[in-house]
Chains A and B, each alone.
Chain A
Amino acid sequence: MPLLEVEGLKTHFFGKRSVTKAVDGVSFTLDHGEILGIVGESGSGKSVTSLSLMRLVDHPGRVVAGSIRFEGRDLLTLSREEMRKLRGRRMSMIFQEPGTSMNPVLTVGFQIGEAIRSHERVEPAEVRRRTMELMEMVGIPDAKQRLNQYPHQFSGGMLQRLMIAMGLALSPSLLIADEPVTALDVTIQAQILDLLKDLRDTTNAAVLLITHDMGVVAETCDRVVVMYLGAIVEEAPVETLFDDPKHPYTQGLLGSIPSIEEKVEWLQAIPGTIPNANEIPTGCRFSNRCPKVMDVCHTVDPALEFVGEGHRVACHLYTETEDRDV
């Protein structure tokens, strides 16, 4: 049984005049010890998906359909208190801006310790010992001294290490990382991605990595889900996705990244801009920007279908002709 099984998840935001379907029917699974990437551009719904898993979606947003089975329980049926006990202990989350996720007037040692104290009854000396152990695990030198320092005394990369330490304090089985390296310099990014991979290897925690960066996906993930305007358009093992991308959006996304391997004169940009999430085109949501658009694409929303081992695509180019006539 997979660790996490998301089925038909829909999270909508209810505005005064319109409903924004930020996440509109998303299904995927995640195994123990696996790193799954959710990749997409702004408005793809990747962050709202991760917040929905943690049940942290705020008013006026609401999960309106679907199920989230995690360690055998449907998170959407749990009470607030049951959910609170789960967060931090079994699943935890780190965010893009490590600086703004910490309290500036409390020492980092206190804040990491708090993650332990809020879920377990342990002696202060024990909290201190475990905090130091966590800081060492995520590669912070001189943990004993740095324990007593405040967030502003740490660099961005070090703060992200602290956030990871906090996230892993109670050995959760799932770590959700929402753009964990986007705010960091590239040499520091590499350090943090290496750390995430090392920690996965040592703790066997599953990682759900939310990112807009195909390079980060290629370097880090085992499997990838590509999202566009609230839905999954393609899902594949990481090598398959980069060797043989099927969806025109995935192809466009890969073609628009300048390569460091070879120099091309022109990049294959995707024409147009991403529509607002409350103006999703009818039929296929990518139809208004798709270079391979067909008549059927304007009327029928393609389902996510298998095209190979673990490889699913939502595109009429790959559906059987019989289906197309229906």
Chain B
Amino acid sequence: MSDLLLDVRGLVKEFPVEGSKDVVHAVSSVDLSVQRGETLGLVGESGCGKTTMGRLVLRLIDPTAGSVIINGQDLGSLSREKLRKVRSTMQIIFQNPFASLNPRMSVEEILMRPMRIHLRIAGAERSKRVDELLEKVGLRPEHRSRYPHEFSGGQRQRIAIARALAVEPAFLVLDEPTSALDVSVQAQILNLLRRLQQDLGLTYLFISHDLSAVRHMSDRIAVMYLGKVVELADSETLFAAPKHPYTRALMSSIPVTNPRLRRERVRLTGDIPSPINLPSGCAFRTRCPWAEQRCTREEPALLDERDADREHLVACHFVDQIVSSEAPTP
């Protein structure tokens, strides 16, 4: 198990609701692992807890329960000082490059600051590395003295990537890294992220609501719904043979860029329930066309339902019946 980079066990995060005893169940007992050099995709709709997961994994927020183990170290057991050191090995890219870069710092300052904090290298060396970083992300040396407002959204995201790489991390959390960008620019950034992964042997946790981007980037994909992982498989298997009814609905909802393939959708009725009052039993049952009595009473466990030699985890009582049937019309 030496190639395990990230191991998440029983992770729970509840946020208090102001002025009440209620809590928001953002993440409810999630287990995940990421191998070194792999990209794990985390996909789901708004409110599913995927962004909270990213924050928890880096310990930018403290979990209510459970543990995050990176490189064999349990982040919860580390002192502040030790945690700060471990942080240089893990970085995050945010969705909005207009908000994640300090507008009053030049590109040079933005890139040198993390080096000054985390790396013990001389000023001249830092300055030299700025040029290397800019080249790595497809920017030019003359960009170093400019300020964020002088760049387009795509270029800003390149700067954010360069900043993350400045401390030579092994692991990046990519939280909707291209959602704020135009498609033609999104493709540039996805290509860049892939090339960097190949060149530098990086490990990614790729968080997105965009299934096609997740499929493109990920080796394995975890589908989240209301704070839980409902299905997890390698991306080929997941797209070829999704088993959880939510995954199936999600996939048939993606607009496909082929007008001849206007498919019959697995139509989901209704909206995502509130994460404050989770439904009893299976959280998806309120929208599931296959839901039965048992789903109300009993929460399905995430079990291996593989058909081939590769892991395929699904949390559904009726996997076998559902896979071989069409959705009943609501």
Report the Cα distance A264→B215, complex, angstroms: 10
Q: Which residues of A contact B85 (CB under 8 A)?
A: none
Report the Cα distance A22→B183, complex, angstroms: 20
Instruction: Indicate if the CB atoms of A193 and B255 lie closer than 8 Å.
Output: yes
Which chain A residues (204-263) contact chain B, with CB distance < 8 Å?
212-216, 218-221, 238-239, 242, 252-261, 263
Instruction: Indicate if the CB atoms of B155 and A257 lie closer than 8 Å.
Output: no
Q: Which residues of A contact B239 (CB under 8 A)?
A: 260
Instruction: Indicate if the CB atoms of A259 and B45 lie closer than 8 Å.
Output: no
Instruction: Indicate if the CB atoms of B191 and A267 lie closer than 8 Å.
Output: yes
Q: Which residues of B contact A148 (CB under 8 A)?
A: none
Q: Which residues of B contact A193 (CB under 8 A)?
A: 255
Task: Assess whether B65 is interfacial by the CB under 8 Å rule.
Answer: no
Task: Assess whether B185 is interfacial by the CB under 8 Å rule.
Answer: yes
Q: Which residues of B contact A242 (CB under 8 A)?
A: 257-259
Task: Assess whether B187 is interfacial by the CB under 8 Å rule.
Answer: yes
Report the Cα distance A185→B254, complex, angstroms: 10
Task: Assess whether A41 is interfacial by the CB under 8 Å rule.
Answer: yes
Task: Assess whether A274 is interfacial by the CB under 8 Å rule.
Answer: yes
Report the Cα distance A140→B155, complex, angstroms: 43
Instruction: Indicate if the CB atoms of A219 and B182 lie closer than 8 Å.
Output: no
Instruction: Indicate if the CB atoms of A213 and B255 lie closer than 8 Å.
Output: yes
Instruction: Indicate if the CB atoms of A187 and B215 lie closer than 8 Å.
Output: no
Instruction: Indicate if the CB atoms of B187 and A186 lie closer than 8 Å.
Output: no
Instruction: Indicate if the CB atoms of A256 and B183 lie closer than 8 Å.
Output: yes
Instruction: Give A110 Cβ to nearest chain B Cβ, in Å.
Output: 23
Q: Which residues of B contact A41 (CB under 8 A)?
A: 182-184
Instruction: Name the residue on A nearest B185 (C-beta).
Output: A273
Q: Which residues of B contact A252 (CB under 8 A)?
A: 184
Report the Cα distance A157→B251, complex, angstroms: 18
Instruction: Indicate if the CB atoms of B257 and A214 lie closer than 8 Å.
Output: yes
Instruction: Indicate if the CB atoms of A187 and B268 lie closer than 8 Å.
Output: yes
Which chain B residues (255-291) contact chain A, with CB distance < 8 Å?
255-262, 265, 267-268, 271-272
Q: Which residues of A contact B215 (CB under 8 A)?
A: 258, 260, 263
Task: Assess whether A189 is interfacial by the CB under 8 Å rule.
Answer: yes
Task: Assess whether A155 is interfacial by the CB under 8 Å rule.
Answer: yes
Q: Which one of A41, A186, A256, A257 has the greatest number of beta carbons of chain B within 10 Å?
A: A186
Task: Assess whether A188 is interfacial by the CB under 8 Å rule.
Answer: yes
Instruction: Give A186 Cβ to nearest chain B Cβ, in Å.
Output: 5
Instruction: Indicate if the CB atoms of A190 and B267 lie closer than 8 Å.
Output: yes
Q: Which residues of B contact A157 (CB under 8 A)?
A: 271
**Contact with A219, one of B155, B184, B259, B267 (Cβ below 8 angstroms):** B259
Instruction: Indicate if the CB atoms of A269 and B184 lie closer than 8 Å.
Output: yes
Report the Cα distance A24→B273, complex, angstroms: 46
Report the Cα distance A264→B235, complex, angstroms: 13
Instruction: Give B276 Cβ to nearest chain A Cβ, in Å.
Output: 14
Instruction: Give A48 Cβ to nearest chain B Cβ, in Å.
Output: 17
Report the Cα distance A214→B249, complex, angstroms: 20
Q: Which residues of A contact B185 (CB under 8 A)?
A: 269, 273
Instruction: Indicate if the CB atoms of B271 and A258 lie closer than 8 Å.
Output: no
Interface 1/0 per residue, B225-241 and A, CB below 8 Å:
00000000001100100
Of the candidate stretches B90-98, B101-109, B161-169, B206-214, the one touching chain A is: B206-214
Instruction: Indicate if the CB atoms of A238 and B267 lie closer than 8 Å.
Output: no
Q: Which residues of B contact A218 (CB under 8 A)?
A: 255-259, 261-262
Task: Assess whether B64 is interfacial by the CB under 8 Å rule.
Answer: no
**Contact with B184, one of A188, A221, A253 (Cβ below 8 angstroms):** A253
Instruction: Indicate if the CB atoms of B183 and A219 lie closer than 8 Å.
Output: no
Task: Assess whether A3 is interfacial by the CB under 8 Å rule.
Answer: no
Which chain B residues (38-52) contact chain A, with CB distance < 8 Å?
45-46
Instruction: Indicate if the CB atoms of A185 and B182 lie closer than 8 Å.
Output: no
Instruction: Indicate if the CB atoms of B216 and A185 lie closer than 8 Å.
Output: no
Q: A157-B271, A187-B45 are in contact. Are A214 and B211 (CB under 8 A)?
A: no
**Contact with A186, one of B182, B194, B209, B267 (Cβ below 8 angstroms):** B209
Task: Assess whether B296 is interfacial by the CB under 8 Å rule.
Answer: no
**Contact with A254, one of B45, B152, B235, B257 (Cβ below 8 angstroms):** B257
Known: A155-B272, A215-B212, A260-B212. 16 other contacts (CB 8 A): A186-B209, A186-B211, A191-B268, A193-B255, A214-B183, A215-B256, A219-B255, A219-B256, A257-B257, A258-B212, A259-B257, A267-B191, A268-B187, A269-B184, A273-B154, A273-B185
A positions within 8 Å CB-CB of B:
41-42, 155, 157-158, 185-191, 193-194, 212-216, 218-221, 238-239, 242, 252-261, 263-271, 273-274
The 8 tightest CB contacts between A and B, nearest first, are A215-B255, A256-B187, A258-B216, A269-B187, A190-B253, A185-B45, A267-B187, A41-B182
Sample (6) of A-B pairs whose CB atoms are under 8 Å apart: A187-B250, A189-B255, A191-B267, A215-B257, A256-B184, A263-B215
